[in-house]
């Protein structure tokens, strides 16, 4: 098998694993998945809102997940680590799931969207962007966007500071896709500058504000005195 096909097959397998875990641990609040290969096997880092539901009584639930990951998806010696989300309101995947669940319960999409934006911004996020697409009010497909604060759509700031989440709400009218993007509250953008006074700048860059060394004084050569004839 060519190397390109190996990369594609590996990524497809990871996507299928993510979709399976999103369904299995939906009650625990799926917050993200990270799969890493180690010399001892495969390390699966699962981020959830309630880790106790994933571990189960006496660890039985997590043992069953380990068996399924090894037999169905073919990962060698998987080791599942469950991590709790510190602030669920700043996790894009959890907020996308909650918004999709609100739509399934009958909330109007504008009410649910604005409520989610307020919750994210109140948690301290620097910015958020929510896209709700599908048959919202009729037979025609529509796309509604909710945005507040700072958000980046491309470049290095998007790769480093934007958390992305996606969920699906199944309604009678059809399927509605929910996309949530949250900018980290500690994000440092290229346009952010800080102006320091002279004292603060001298503490940060002491060499720049150091007094120049005085050059040794050179002995002045005696000058000839010109005398004009009388």
Tell me, what CATH number does 174's domain have? 3.30.1140.32
Please give the mean pLDDT across all residues of the chain: 84
Q: Are residues 94 and 177 in the same domain?
A: yes
The residue behind tokens 């004009």 is 228
**Residue 108 and residue 168 in one domain:** yes
Q: Are residues 110 and 50 in the same domain?
A: no
67/95 same-domain check: no
Please write the tens of the pLDDT for every residue from 184-204.
888 887 777 778 777 877 777
Last residue of a domain, one of 32, 52, 85: 85
Q: Please calculate the CA angle 49-52-54 and round it to the nearest 5 degrees.
A: 80
Chain-centroid distance of CA 170 in Å reads 26
Q: How far apart are CA 38 and CA 45, in angstroms?
A: 12
Residue showing tokens 């949250």: 182
Give domain status of residue 199, yes or no: no
- Residue 225 inside a domain? The answer is no
Instruction: Encode pLDDT of 147-173 as tens digits.
Output: 999 888 888 888 888 999 999 999 888
Does residue 55 share a domain with residue 104? no
Instruction: Give domain status of residue 219, yes or no.
Output: no
Q: Nearest 5°: phi and psi at 31?
A: -115, -10
Whether residue 210 is contained in a domain is answered as no
Whether 12 maps to a domain, the answer reads: yes
User: Domain for residue 194, yes or no?
Assistant: no
Identify whether residues 136 and 73 lie together within a single domain.
no
Q: DSSP class of residue 59?
A: G
Query: Are 115 and 130 found together in one domain?
Result: yes
Residue 42 bridge partners (DSSP): 37, 78
Closest-CA residue to 34 (of 2, 73, 79, 4):
79
- The residue from 85, 120, 154 where one domain ends is 85
pLDDT at 13 over 80: yes
Residues 21 and 93 in one domain: no
Q: Are 131 and 177 part of one and the same domain?
A: yes
* Residue 207 located in a structural domain: no
Helix 109-122 vs helix 92-104: crossing angle, to nearest 10:
150
> What is the residue range of 160's domain?
89-183
| Residue 217: pLDDT band with limits 50, 70, 90 | low
- Report how far residue 110's alpha carbon sits from residue 113's, in angstroms, rounded to the nearest whole number: 5
Q: What is the pLDDT of residues 56-111, one digit of tens each?
A: 888 888 888 888 888 888 888 888 888 888 888 999 999 999 999 999 998 999 99
CA distance 88 to 85: 6
pTM for this structure?
A: 0.76
- Tell the burial category of 184 from Cβ atoms under 10 Å away from its Cβ (0-12, 13-18, 19+): middle
Question: From CA 35, how far away is CA 41, in angstroms rounded?
Answer: 11
């Amino acid at each position: 098998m060519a190397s390109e096909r190996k990369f594609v097959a590996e990524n497809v397998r990871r996507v299928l694993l993510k979709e399976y875990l999103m369904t299995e641990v939906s009650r625990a609040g799926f917050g993200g998945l990270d799969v890493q290969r180690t010399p001892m096997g495969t390390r699966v880092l699962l981020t959830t809102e309630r880790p106790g539901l994933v571990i189960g009584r006496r660890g039985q639930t997590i043992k069953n997940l380990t068996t399924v990951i090894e037999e169905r998806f073919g990962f060698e010696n998987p080791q599942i680590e469950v991590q709790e989300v510190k602030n669920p309101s700043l996790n894009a995947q959890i907020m996308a799931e909650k918004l999709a669940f609100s739509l399934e319960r009958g909330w109007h999409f504008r009410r649910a969207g604005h409520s989610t934006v307020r919750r994210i911004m109140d948690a301290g996020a620097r910015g958020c962007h929510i896209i709700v697409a599908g048959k919202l009010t009729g037979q025609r497909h529509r796309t509604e966007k909710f945005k507040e604060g700072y958000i980046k759509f491309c470049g290095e700031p998007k790769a480093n500071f934007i958390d992305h989440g996606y969920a699906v709400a199944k309604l009678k009218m059809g399927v509605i896709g929910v996309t949530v993007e949250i900018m980290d509250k500690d994000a440092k953008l290229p346009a952010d500058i800080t102006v320091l006074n002279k004292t603060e700048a001298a503490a940060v860059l002491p060499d720049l504000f150091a007094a120049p060394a005085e050059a040794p004084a050179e002995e002045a050569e005696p000058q000839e005195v010109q005398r004009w004839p009388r």
